[in-house]
Amino acid sequence: MQETVLLPRLHDTAPAVRRLSLNALGRMMNLGLLWWPERVLRSLCDPATEVRVQAVELVGAWFEGSDDHAAEAPEAARWLAERSRDTEPRVAALAVRQLRRAALASQLSDSNFEQVSMLSLTAPDSHGLLRAEAALFVEQHLLPDPGQVLYPAY
């Protein structure tokens, strides 16, 4: 049934239908009824912003609390690093927020890790939330004692 009903809706021309179908897929995956991570990862490149936002949230939900989906972590981290350069600020900020999870951050390549870290300095002024998320990423994964910023003595 999923192949005949859900799969065509994930390719629908209407972005709202694709987003709702992706939401339904996420619920089915959470319930263990089916497992289609490649469909969710493919949706990260959807032309519609709302579909990409939904896909980023679903990918992040895989890594909440448990390591059940460790096999998907390397590819998910790579796709989220790509989405961190999204032209839509909400998608980019949400992708970096998901990359703050230890399971995903540990899977980033050196170049992707550096690229995400630099976003706090290089993101445009219109991407304020992205800059904040990137700064939190740096604090969690690069500073020796997260939560305490070291200031030079004058």
CATH no. for residue 135? 1.25.10.10
Per-residue model confidence (pLDDT) at position 16: 95
Q: Is residue 149 part of a domain?
A: no
Q: Is residue 37 part of a domain?
A: yes
Q: Is residue 119 part of a domain?
A: yes
The model's confidence at residue 150, banded by pLDDT at 50, 70 and 90, is low
Which amino acid is it at 96?
V
Domain that residue 75 falls in = 2-141
Closest CA to 79 of 92, 66, 61: 92
User: To 10 degrees, what angle do helices 49-62 and 15-30 make?
Assistant: 10
Which amino acid is it at 117?
S
Q: Is residue 95 part of a domain?
A: yes
Which range (20-24, 43-47, 66-70, 95-99) has the least confidence?
A: 66-70
Structural domain total, the chain = 1
Q: Is residue 153 part of a domain?
A: no
Q: Is residue 82 part of a domain?
A: yes
Structure tokens at 125: 């002024």
Alpha helices for the chain (secondary structure H) = 7-10, 15-30, 37-43, 49-62, 73-83, 89-99, 102-105, 110-122, 128-141
For residue 146, which phi and psi values (nearest 5 degrees)?
A: -55, 140
Q: pLDDT, tens digit, for every residue of 58-99?
A: 999 999 877 778 889 999 999 999 999 999 999 999 999 999
Per-residue model confidence (pLDDT) at position 73: 92
Q: Is residue 146 part of a domain?
A: no
Q: Is residue 148 part of a domain?
A: no
